[in-house]
Structure 1
């Protein structure tokens, strides 16, 4: 008997392999109606996002809660149950300390007496690739109740289950602490970056106040045949994906309103402007009408103005300038509205100096962030490998504990 993620024949003596339906009762979830009487009670309501990142640990909180009445329209998991997300996405695992409701995106395992829930949770974390492989569907993958219940996990004697759970609780806590430390470093580096931009764009000395219309010229170029299409922003650079259509292709009706983009143009997504979706194009291409394509009107630096617009978006300033509070993004699709936004800009000489200085410092920070992210990735890989090794008997946790 084998599965995709462990070998039955390689299990230690005294271990068995059992499908989930033999370690506990598999329960299905549901969602009550929108009736206000069903919601905001004392019953936690677990959904897949609540399980994200738990990795078998207790779920400390949920985004939503139900009343006793609402719980009648949902699945109910007894205290100590293990919950697994079975759609959007598959494979997040957590445990509940008290009776909790859960929706149809999850399955619960009410673990039988004589089996350690913490061990089963870790075994299901290790089985994530197997669970995903068993998912089916076209619009999105979903793991059926029967497919989940038939998934096998290694099952050592109860005392060893507890020893493995204790070992993994201790070891993964240490790894999680290291990950948290690296994440703190990344946030510190991001704060340094924000402080640099705050100091530049919140200052007033030596600046001139203009509107977007006075600083930028909106362009409306025809689309070049076979030009790439704006597809992504990253760190202020607009990336164009290659258009592989054959020569002589006729633009569709949907593309008839597209506009040409040249290398060095500032491209601003009017619908996402408040999230800072603005950058300088890295090549010639095309984009849809929801973008504004601009060039500096005078000798201002395009990269500097792009950074300024992105900063105003992420800081919330642009949102404060929208006259319609219900549909702010729609208002900024109109160039006349966007063109009235005030800008405080420095001299072209200072702009050129700052963009060069910022680029150098940003590269240094990004290098430090990349290094920290690499440490996090390696730590998470070790964490995953450790869990798999422990729940499949590849390491003797009692010997490992003595050695440490």
Structure 2
């Protein structure tokens, strides 16, 4: 397949328009990184951020229909080179920084063909190998300019663009339906939790009891070879090695670490408000930020895990907390945590509630897993189809 560098098909303009407003400049609407990343198609009807820009910036980075915008800076290489095409625009729409504006030479390349090529694995592989940086990765103007683009005659470009508009449009429609189903299932999941949370906090719905009367804090010794147990925000408490080990900071010292047994109630003192609470599936060790407990004769560990997730879902934990910091609520102090009040549910009913929620949410989780699997297959099909067509491996009529 014969190729030519991108600079021969488009005028490439890395934007440096910031989000600041200056009373001496002209009001504009900025197309930002997230608009490109999530929208894919930019239209004049989008709700865009207001800012100002100079005459020079407006002249150079003002948007026109058929322009293409790509992400040029990100935290990870796989988010570099994400394209969006401008379907319609107004005079006040301007491309913001962290993005590059590509203005296709329409006599040489069909804009929609170029967009679809930028969506292909061939282009993504080029960006992945060319991006540089550590904490933030980027692609330079020279790198963007040298992207090899397949050369097809204009009739073939138009045929490819039309074919992918239709075929990928159908795939995207199915993906949208799966996303809506996922949202509905997640809402149903939350509805059960909020309902339990309401029962536990409603005035005059039962005798009020403190968490500390239903849970006993443990302080077990560590054992050689124990792995790290983590409470994930979806309610699973398990060895980190069984699920994922990335995204965590390991301590240089295990001072304060404690043993965890299967069946223990485990609550994260900072992330518990966001759902990081459950019953441990494994034996291991946990950091001192966790409360590792067993139930008293008044309670069940499984019910208490559901109860704390419910109190998180209905906002009670956030409202009760006396110490709040950004993105977390501090319940590391046992006295504070043990002092949480809730309406008491008799033990036999606790077991019934826990069984019911285990069953219902288990079925919802199974459906969510199936939705995720189907979406993954569609995304792979989408990517393979685009790549095969724009590189000529699959011919279209």
For the criterion TM > 0.5, the same-fold answer is: yes
- Measured on the aligned residues, the alpha-carbon RMSD in Å equals 3.2
1:59-96 CA-to-partner distances (Å, cap 9, x unmatched) read: 66476342124984998254232111133221311123
Structure 2 counterpart of 1:192, from 175, 188, 192: 188
Query: Taking structure 1 as reference, are residues 329 and 53 closer, same or farther at Cα in structure 2, changes over 3 Å only?
Result: closer
SS of the residue corresponding to residue 236 of structure 1 reads coil
* Superposed CA offset, 1:225-273 (max 9, x none): 3322234526422122369xxxxxxx98743132332222222122222
Moved more, 299-308 or 325-334: 325-334
Q: TM-score of the superposition, structure 1-length normalised?
A: 0.81
Tell me how many residue pairs correspond in the alignment: 375
1:146-295 correspondence runs (5 A): 146-203=142-199, 207-233=206-232, 235-241=234-240, 254-295=253-294
Instruction: Give the CA deviation at 1:319.
Output: 0.7
| Alpha-carbon spacing, 1:71–1:310, altered in 2? closer, same or farther (3 Å) | farther
Aligned positions of 1:20-35 closer than 5 A: 20-32=6-18, 34=20
Cα distance in structure 2, aligned partners of 1:73 and 1:255: 56
Equivalent in the alignment of 1:91: 81
Structure 1 residues 242 and 175: CA distance shift in structure 2, 3 A: closer
User: Which residue number in structure 2 is paired with residue 366 of structure 1?
Assistant: 365
How far apart are the structure 1 equivalents of 2:48 and 2:273?
A: 25
Which residue does 1:76 correspond to in 2? 61
Is 2:316 the counterpart of 1:341? no
Structure 1's unaligned 5+ residue stretches are 1-7, 9-15, 244-250, 400-404
Q: Find the counterpart in structure 2 of residue 248 from structure 1.
A: none
Residues 28, 108 of structure 1: 8 Å contact kept: yes
User: 1: CA distance between counterparts of 2:168 and 2:14?
Assistant: 29
Change (3 A) 1:294 1:77: farther
The correspondence of residues 99-178 of structure 1 with structure 2, limited to 5 A, is 100-114=93-107, 115-126=109-120, 127-178=123-174
Verify the 8 A CA contact 1:278 1:310 in the aligned structure 2. Answer: yes
When normalised by structure 2's length, the TM-score is 0.82
Q: Aligned equivalents of 1:63 and 1:19: distance in 2?
A: 32
CA contact (8 A) 1:206 1:346 kept: no
Relative to structure 1, the CA distance from residue 236 to residue 37 in structure 2 (aligned partners, 3 Å threshold; closer, same or farther) is same
**How far is 1:389 from its partner?**
2.6
**2:307, 2:170 → 1: CA distance?**
41
Q: Which runs of 5+ in 2 are unaligned?
A: 243-249
Q: Distance in 2 between matches of 1:137 and 1:24?
A: 26
Counterparts of 1:74 and 1:313, CA distance in 2: 50
2:30 aligned residue: 44
Secondary structure of the structure 1 residue equivalent to 2:237: strand
Q: Distance in 2 between matches of 1:70 and 1:351?
A: 67
Looking at structure 1, the residues matched to 26 and 332 of structure 2 have their Cα atoms a distance apart, in angstroms, of 38
- Cα distance in 1 for partners of 2:227, 2:156 equals 59
Q: SS of 1:267's equivalent?
A: strand
Cα distance, 1:148 vs structure 2: 1.9
- What is aligned with 1:58? 42
Q: 1:380 to 1:105 in 2, by over 3 A?
A: same
CA distance in 1, matches of 2:26, 2:325: 27
2:379 — aligned with what?
380
Q: In the TM superposition, what is the alpha-carbon distance from 1:150 to its structure 2 partner?
A: 0.7
| Cα offset, 1:109, TM superposition | 1.3
CA gap of 1:226–1:77, structure 2 versus 1, over 3 A, is: farther
1:162 CA drift (Å):
2.6
* Residue pair 1:43, 1:68 contacting (<8 A) in 2 also: no
